[in-house]
Structure 1
Amino acid sequence: MTTPTKAPRSAVPATALDTLTADPAKREVYRHDTYAREGLRSFATVTELHRSHDVTFVVLKPDAVAGRRCELILDILRDEGWLPAAATTLRFDPLLTRELWRYQFNAASSQRIDVVDHLLGSGPSLLVLLYDTRRPAWMPASVRLTAAKGSADPEAARHGDLRTRIGRVNGLFNFIHTADDPADVIRELQLFSYQTGWDWCRAALCAVGPPTTADGRSRVSDPAHALLAAVHEAIPAHDLDVTAALRRLSAGTGPWAELARHAGTPKHIGHWLAELRRGPINDEASRWDVLTVATQWIDCNEPGVAPILPTSSPAMWRAVADGRLPTELEDAACRV
C-alpha cells in the first residue's frame, strides 16, 4: 500500500523570510500567516524585497495627536536619520488592533483589552514611511528604530530612548508604534493596505535613495507635516495629566463625573473598566480625561505570560550577518 504524501501547510517557501527576520520562530510562524504571505507578494509587486531593509514606518497613535507630540516625534526621528518619505492617515478598529499585534496580544491583560479599543479608535493615526540614512549595512532600518524607541513600559525605559525623549506617559500612552524588522514592515503594511492601499507609499518605495531637499530639512514637501493640521483638527489637544483629568471630570455630570467623585483612586479601576465595557465613550468632552485616568491605572500585561513572538534584538541581526555576537560598542552604536 502506498503511503499518502503529506501536503505542505504553507505556500510560502521555507527560505522566503530568511533575509527579512533574524528570528527562526518568526520565519516559521509567518510562513503560515496570511498577511505576511500577501505582504510578500504585494511588496514585491511595488518594489524589490531588499528595499524593506532601507525603510520602516512609524504610526503616531491618537494619544500622540491628543498630546501634541507629533511634530516633536518627527523632528527627533529626522535628527536621528529617519527621513519621512510618504505619509497617510489610518484609523484603528478592533480587528486591525488584534491582527496587528496578533503574536503579542496573548500577553495583554484583560484591563488593557478593555481600554485599548477606546484609545486607538479615538481618531486618526498618522502613518509615516521612513527612509533610514544612518543604518549600518548589517542592520535593517526597522531594527535600528525598534532598538532606539525603547519599551512601551515606563519602568523599562532607558535614558535617551525615543519614548523617553518624547515624554512617554504610561504603558498605553506611549505615542508610537513601529515594525520590529523587515518581515513586520511587509506584514503590517499589508494589514494597513486594506484601508490605505499602496499608492500612498508606492513612489517612495520605488525611489532610489533617501528623500532630500536643498537643505535636507525643509518641511515644504514633507508628507508627514503636511497632514498634521488634519489630524489635530480631528483630535483635540489634551494635557494627558491624570490629576487634572479627575478634577475636570468631577466638575461635570453623568457616570464619569460620579466615578471621578466617588471612585477616583486606582483601587477602583474595576468600576471604570466596567463602565467602558458598556459601550463607546459618548461624551466627547470627557473622552480624553477618561482615557487618561484609565490608562494610568491599569496593568498592561498578564504576569508571567510571554508574547508568542517577542521583539528581536540587534544582536540577533549581527549574529546572522557574520556569525558572531556584537561587541558592546557595536550594540550601543545602534541605539539613540
Structure 2
Amino acid sequence: MHTELDDEFWRAATTLPRKRTLYSRDSLFLEGYYDASFIWQEQMASLLARVALVLFKSETIAGQRLQVAHTLLTAQGFAAVAAEPVRFTGGLFHDLWRYQFQRATSDKIRLYTRWAAGTNGVVAAYIQTAPAPRRPASVSMKVFKGPAAVERRQPEQLRSLMASPNSILNFVHASDEPADVLRELAILVPAERRDRVWRAIATADFEAGQAELLALADRFASGPPHDLDVAAAGERLAAKCSANGAAGQRYFDAVTTREKLLVLRELELALGARCAEVDPIDVIVFASGFVRRDLPLPGELDDDCVPGWDALDSVLR
C-alpha cells in the first residue's frame, strides 16, 4: 500500500514542475518514495512536511565539527530523530548530485569522486519542532543552511556560523524540499537500514535520535581534528611535492601563486609516489581554495532554488 504519485502528492513534494518531470522517472526518487509510503502510509503527507535531511560532509567529520553543527540546528528548532554513518563513494556522489554535476568542472567532480571517496560522513533526519506552517521543514532547513556561495549568505545562516570559507568547504548538505528528502535518503542509507530511519521519523523520539547522532560524533573523534586550514593543508602537500622532486615543487608553487590553474590530475602527478601518503582531507581543503568550480552552463535543477513555498500554506495544513 502506498500513496499515489498524483497531483496532491506533487503539490506537497515540490514547487518545481521540472523536478516533477525528472523525478517521475528517477529510480532513486521512486525507491525512496515507495519505501516511505509503505512505512508511513496515511501519514505520508504530514511526515514528509515535518522532516528535513542533513548530510554532514567529510570536512565536518574530519574537523570534528559535527556536534557544533548539531547544536546550532537544535537551537534553530530542529531535533534529530535518526542518524546513520555514510562511507562516500564516487557513485554515491554522482547519484546525489546527478543534476548539479551537469554544470560542474571536471576537477570539481574529481575532487569528490577521487579524493572524497573513501572518507566518512553522517546523514541525519531532523524533525522541525518550532512551528513554520508556511513551508516544509526541509525548505526551512535549506534556508537556514545558506547557499554555497559565500557572498550570498546571511550571518545568521548555518554555513556562516560554522565559518565556511568557500563554496566547497561548506560542511553540510541539506535536501532542498520534500521530494529531495525521499530521493536522498534512498541514496545515503542502505536498503537494509532504511526502514529503521523511516520508522524513527514517524516515532519522533528526540532523545534517541540525539543519542544516535552524538554517538557517531564520538565514534569519529578518536584522533586529533583536522585543522581545515587551506594554507596549512597546502604546506603539507607542498612537502610531499618537494619530496617527489623539483618538478613537483615547481608545479605546486605555480598553483599557490596562481600562475597556473589547479588541475587535480597535474597535482597528482606532482605528488607522484607520495600521492598514496596524502591525507585526502588535505587535498579537499587545499583544492577548495583553488579549484575551478562550475561551468557557465544551466543545470536542469537550480541547487539554491526553493521558490513558491511561502505561497502554499494550505498544502501543509
Fold match by TM threshold 0.5: yes
Judge conservation of contact 2:254–2:260 (CA < 8 Å) in 1.
no
Alignment equivalent of 1:266, drawn from 253, 258, 264: 258
Aligned match of 1:155: 151
Alignment equivalent of 1:243, drawn from 231, 241, 250: 231
Judge conservation of contact 2:82–2:125 (CA < 8 Å) in 1.
yes
1:102 Cα deviation from its structure 2 partner:
1.3
Figure out how many residues of one structure are paired with residues of the other and give that number: 304
Counterpart Cα distance in 1 of 2:114 and 2:272: 9
1:236 Cα deviation from its structure 2 partner:
5.7
Aligned match of 2:215: 226
1:165-244 superposed matches below 5 A: 165-194=161-190, 197-207=193-203, 211-212=206-207, 222-233=211-222, 237-244=225-232
2:286 pairs with 1:293: yes
> Residues 45-77 of structure 1: CA distance to partner in whole angstroms, max 9, x if unpaired?
121322111111111111111222211101000
SS of 1:223's equivalent? helix
2:97 pairs with 1:101: yes
1:163 Cα deviation from its structure 2 partner:
0.3
Higher-Rg structure is 1
AA paired with 1:225? L
AA paired with 2:31? E
Counterpart Cα distance in 1 of 2:32 and 2:14: 14
Aligned match of 1:316: 308
AA paired with 1:74? H
AA paired with 2:299? P
1:296 Cα deviation from its structure 2 partner:
0.8
Counterpart Cα distance in 2 of 1:169 and 1:96: 25
Aligned match of 1:89: 85
> Residues 112-139 of structure 1: CA distance to partner in whole angstroms, max 9, x if unpaired?
1121223432421011111111142231
2:28 pairs with 1:38: no
AA paired with 1:91? R
When normalised by structure 1's length, the TM-score is: 0.80
Counterpart Cα distance in 2 of 1:76 and 1:284: 35
Judge conservation of contact 2:79–2:206 (CA < 8 Å) in 1.
yes
Counterpart Cα distance in 1 of 2:199 and 2:85: 17
Q: Give the structure with the higher percent helix.
A: 2
**79-88 vs 266-275, greater mean Cα deviation:** 266-275
Counterpart Cα distance in 2 of 1:251 and 1:28: 50
AA paired with 2:169? F
Judge conservation of contact 1:61–1:120 (CA < 8 Å) in 2.
no
Q: 1:85 to 1:271 in 2, by over 3 A?
A: closer
In percent, how many aligned pairs have the same letter?
26
SS of 2:259's equivalent? helix
Aligned match of 2:298: 306
Counterpart Cα distance in 2 of 1:288 and 1:192: 20
Aligned match of 1:331: none
Counterpart Cα distance in 1 of 2:263 and 2:305: 39
Q: 1:294 to 1:104 in 2, by over 3 A?
A: same
Alignment equivalent of 1:112, drawn from 108, 112, 115: 108
Judge conservation of contact 1:20–1:183 (CA < 8 Å) in 2.
yes
> Residues 189-220 of structure 1: CA distance to partner in whole angstroms, max 9, x if unpaired?
1122346631441431221x56259xxxxx9x
Counterpart Cα distance in 1 of 2:264 and 2:31: 40
1:225 Cα deviation from its structure 2 partner:
0.7
1:292 Cα deviation from its structure 2 partner:
2.0
Aligned match of 2:75: 79
Aligned match of 2:244: 254
**184-193 vs 314-323, greater mean Cα deviation:** 314-323
Unpaired runs of 5+ residues, structure 2, are none
Counterpart Cα distance in 1 of 2:307 and 2:130: 17
Q: 1:16 to 1:199 in 2, by over 3 A?
A: closer
1:53-68 superposed matches below 5 A: 53-68=49-64
Aligned match of 2:123: 127
Judge conservation of contact 1:150–1:158 (CA < 8 Å) in 2.
yes
Judge conservation of contact 1:115–1:273 (CA < 8 Å) in 2.
no
1:20 Cα deviation from its structure 2 partner:
1.0
Q: 1:273 to 1:60 in 2, by over 3 A?
A: same
AA paired with 1:90? V
SS of 2:189's equivalent? helix
When normalised by structure 2's length, the TM-score is: 0.85
> Residues 163-199 of structure 1: CA distance to partner in whole angstroms, max 9, x if unpaired?
0101112221101011011110011111223466314
AA paired with 2:236? R
